[in-house]
């Protein structure tokens, strides 16, 4: 069994897992939100979360084994929704810090190369590299705006930053706004070049493996 076949199978299993996890996570978050809004006790919230995750997992497994969708043939609108969903999850999990959303862009770039490779659509790869990089960086811009609003609306943000980075001096409002703007621009640019880098490298490796 050649290396290219093993890698392709591993990629397919990984992306099936990644996409299959969307409904369980969605069920989990909806259940927690409903229980929280209802001012339910902590034990009830935990039970609701477990139930929501279980329902989502059941639906995901039914979709997988009945419809048997090809992970590389999912419609573009579905892929966009999944990408946005994971970005929201990452932003929430890391409490509004958008740095970790860079990983979502890198994965999106890697997935797209595998998708066009499996569909024999490598002819327009230059256009795809630019287009996907623009998309991931645009979503990162939205993530940064959301994160900025959260930071500016929270009165504890300056103190949180001082504790996080061990800053002794006071962080004023103008300084906070400047840090948000500069950091946001840097993250958006980094997301574009990271996605582009991942795609170019994966295209090169994929091309070499297919020739071997």
Contacts of 86 (CB under 8 A, 6+ apart): 22, 104
Instruction: Return the pLDDT at 7.
Output: 61
Residue-wise pLDDT for 98-110, tens only, equals 999 999 999 999 9
- Low-confidence residues in the chain, pLDDT < 50: 1
Per-domain boundaries in the chain: 1-71, 73-212
Instruction: Return the pLDDT at 207.
Output: 66
d(CA 10, CA 29): 28
Structure tokens at 39: 């001012």
3-state secondary structure of 119: coil
Contacts of 32 (CB under 8 A, 6+ apart): 45, 48, 49, 52
Instruction: Return the pLDDT at 1.
Output: 46
Contacts of 52 (CB under 8 A, 6+ apart): 27, 28, 29, 30, 31, 32
3-state secondary structure of 184: helix
Total residues belonging to the chain: 212
Residue-wise pLDDT for 40-83, tens only, equals 788 888 899 999 999 999 999 999 999 999 999 999 999 999 99
Instruction: Return the pLDDT at 211.
Output: 52
d(CA 172, CA 158): 7
Judge contact between 65 and 48, C-beta under 8 A: no
Whether this prediction's pTM lies above 0.75 is answered by: yes
């Amino acid at each position: 069994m050649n290396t290219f076949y093993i890698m392709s199978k591993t990629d397919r299993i990984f992306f099936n897992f990644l996409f299959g996890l969307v409904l369980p996570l969605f069920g989990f978050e909806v259940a927690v939100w409903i229980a929280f809004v209802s001012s339910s006790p902590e034990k009830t919230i935990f039970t609701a979360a477990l139930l929501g995750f279980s329902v989502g997992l059941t639906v995901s497994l039914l979709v997988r084994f009945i419809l048997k969708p090809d992970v590389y043939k999912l419609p573009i609108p579905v892929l966009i929704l999944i990408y946005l969903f994971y970005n929201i999850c990452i932003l929430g999990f890391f409490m509004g810090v958008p740095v970790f959303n860079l990983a979502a862009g890198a994965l999106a770039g890697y997935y797209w190369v595998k998708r066009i490779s499996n569909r024999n659509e490598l002819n327009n790869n230059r256009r795809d590299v630019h287009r996907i990089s623009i998309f991931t960086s645009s979503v990162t811009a939205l993530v940064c705006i959301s994160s900025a609003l959260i930071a500016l609306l929270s009165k504890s943000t300056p103190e949180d930053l001082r504790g996080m980075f061990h800053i002794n001096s006071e962080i004023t409002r103008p300084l906070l706004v400047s840090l948000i703007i500069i950091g946001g621009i840097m993250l958006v640019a980094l997301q574009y070049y990271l996605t582009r880098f991942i795609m170019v490298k994966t295209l090169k490796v994929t091309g070499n493996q297919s020739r071997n």
